[in-house]
Amino acid sequence: MKPIYLKATAAAALMSLAAFGAHAGVTVTIACGTVGQDFDFCKKAGDEWSAKTGNTVKHLTIPQSTSDILGLFRQMFAAKSTDLDVLNVDVVWPGIIKDQLLDLTPYAKGAEKEHFPAIVANNTVGGKLLAMPWFTDAGVLYYRKDLLAKYGEKAPTTWAELTTTAKKVMDGERKAGNGDMQGFVFQAKAYEGLSCNALEWVSSFGGGAIVDASGKVTINNKHAAAALTTAAGWIGTIAPTGVLNYGEEDARGVFQKGNAVFMRNWPYAWSLSQGADSPIKGKVGVVALPKGGDGKTAATLGGWQLAVSKYSKHPKEAADLVMYLTSAGVQKDRAIRGSYNPTIPALYKDGGVLKANPFFGDLYDTFVGAVPRPATVTGVKYNEVSAAFWNATHEVLSGKTKAEDSLVKLEAKIDSIRRGPKW
């Protein structure tokens, strides 16, 4: 009994010493994503920063769905919570939470000029640099090289081609014994991800971007209706009905298990599909999303930024962590090992980055020319507009309403969200 007791006392004494030692630095709490490998990368980079500065990094685990994360942050901000110092900010949020973020201009010292100007502009509200670009995103089409070769097909360039190819390969594979084979998986759960997917369909059919730059609601048009009708035709044919409840990780689960011919997802899924434990390693290709009819290819602009909460007790250290995590060195490592798209144009010419992600070079124009969601024009009401859009789309996909009727209702709904002539 006695030696154990002594040991425990010694351990406790050591621990309190260690705790005392850690007091030299401050503790910075960061929330940085839980999708795919987000957490592991964030943990590693955070540890490196701790070792460099002597500060401690605490990780706050947040939900997977971006809509849920925004809800959580909003509640923390409303309570003026000091439990959160550094937070990840979706590309559509700067307008929504602009009053809760610290101006990073004095800490960036011009470092933002290395990044894509369009993203920096997106993160600058009222002359304040509210967030540093961390990684950018654009929807891309993943396909099974081996299966397309087996059936003598090419990667599709239009949605119509995708539909026929998916059907052909899916039917063939099912006959060959894989009853679980699906043609196409994407994100159609009623959340922000569905808005991203649907915007790609609508935009590629020439149906605009829901609300135009002047604030006019443009979604109720025949191109948009054609796009949604096309997508609704996939449910239950080439796509499982379950996509109506799929987020990014659900779609990746099906694809990476080898049970889908095509997948629409963000670039992060690439490095995971090439991991040692992936059944489809070396069998995956990535191309730009298909065109709609005689339209163009469209990828929704995604991506995440890092920002500092206005209520942080250690803004200086928090900003320093943000600058470290968004620096070229960390972005390069994340690009090579995690296929996170850098926000620094120079890294797209880097040999190591291109070797790990061959499609970064081919799809450079897709990443630079991605379609933004109407977040700037709708400002703080963006989330509500997006929710109206994803709910309307979800109803069309699930077969409850026809695209035309749903869009009439959606137009009225967005007009009522605006409350008056101006956003």
Partner 1 sequence: MSTPTTDIAAIGIPHAPAARAPRSQLTRERTRAAWLFLAPSLVVLLMVAGWPLGRSIFFSFTDASLETIGESTYNMVGLANYFGPYGVFNFAAVNGFWSTDWGMAIKNTFSFALVSVVLETFLGVVFALVLNAEFKGRSFVRAAVLVPWAIPTIVSAKMWAWIMHDQFGVMNALLRSAGIIDQNIAWTADPAFALWSVVLVDVWKTTPFMALLTLAALQMLPRDCYEAAHVDGIHPVKVFFKVTLPLIWPALMVAVIFRLLDALRVFDIIYVMTSNSVDTISMSGFVRREIVDNNYVGFGSAASTVLFLIIAACTLIYLKASRVDLGGEK
CB of 303 to partner 1, least distance (A): 21
Q: Which two tokens stand for residue 203?
A: 């935009």
User: Which window, 35-43, 71-79, 272-280, 286-294, contacts partner 1 (CB under 8 A)?
Assistant: 71-79
Q: Cβ contacts of residue 355 below 8 Å, gap of 6+?
A: none
Q: Which of 53, 245, 274, 376 binds partner 1 (CB under 8 A)?
A: 245
Part of the chain binding partner 1 (CB under 8 A), chosen from 7-15, 113-121, 150-158, 379-387: 379-387
Interacting residue with partner 1 among 180, 212, 362, 365 (CB under 8 A): 180
Of 154 and 400, which has the nearer Cβ to partner 1? Answer: 400
Angle at 255 between CA 340 and CA 41, to 5 degrees: 25
We find the least distance from the C-beta atom of residue 99 to partner 1, in angstroms, to be 6
Closest separation in Å from C-beta 391 to partner 1: 5
Q: Name the strand (E) or helix (H) holding 45.
A: helix 38-53
Of the pair 316, 400, the CB lying nearest partner 1 is at 400
The contact mask relative to partner 1 for 77-96 (x = CB under 8 A, - = no) is xx-x----------------
Whole-angstrom Cα distance, residue 92 to residue 98? 11
Q: Which two tokens stand for residue 90?
A: 């979706």
Q: Could you count the other beta carbons within 10 Å of the beta carbon of residue 205?
A: 27
Residue 409 found at the interface with partner 1 (CB under 8 A): yes
CA-CA distance, 267 to 143, in Å (whole number)?
Answer: 13
Nearest of 368, 318, 320, 337 to residue 111 by alpha carbon? 320
Token couple for 77: 């901000």
Cα–Cα dist 122/375, whole Å: 9
Residue 338 contacts residue 127 (beta carbons within 8 Å): no
User: Closest CB to partner 1 among 74 and 402?
Assistant: 74
* Residue 372 binds partner 1 (CB under 8 A): no
Which span sits near partner 1 by CB under 8 A: 5-13, 204-212, 254-262, 366-374?
Answer: 254-262
Stretch that binds partner 1, among 156-164, 335-343, 368-376, 408-416 (CB under 8 A): 408-416
373 is an interface residue for partner 1 by CB under 8 A: no
SS3 state of residue 110: coil
Single out the segment in contact with partner 1 by CB under 8 A; choices: 40-48, 149-157, 218-226, 234-242: 234-242
Stretch that binds partner 1, among 23-31, 187-195, 282-290, 348-356 (CB under 8 A): 187-195
Instruction: Please identify, using beta-carbon distances, which residue of 116 and 246 lies nearer to partner 1.
Output: 246
Task: Please choose, from the candidates 319, 386, 300, the residue with its C-alpha nearest in 3D space to the C-alpha of residue 70.
Answer: 386
- What span, in angstroms and rounded, lies between the C-alpha atoms of 123 and 307? 10
Min dist CB 196 to partner 1, Å, is: 15
Instruction: Note whether 184 and 143 are within 8 A (CB).
Output: no
Distance from C-alpha of 235 to C-alpha of 197, rounded to nearest angstrom: 14
- The secondary element (H helix, E strand) that includes residue 56 is strand 56-59
Q: Which is nearer to partner 1, 243 or 330 (CB)?
A: 243
Both structure tokens of 223: 């191109």
Binding site for partner 1 (CB under 8 A): 67, 70-71, 74-75, 77-78, 80, 99-100, 180, 182, 189-191, 240-246, 250, 253-254, 257, 259, 380, 383-384, 387, 390-391, 394-395, 398, 400, 408-409, 412, 416, 419
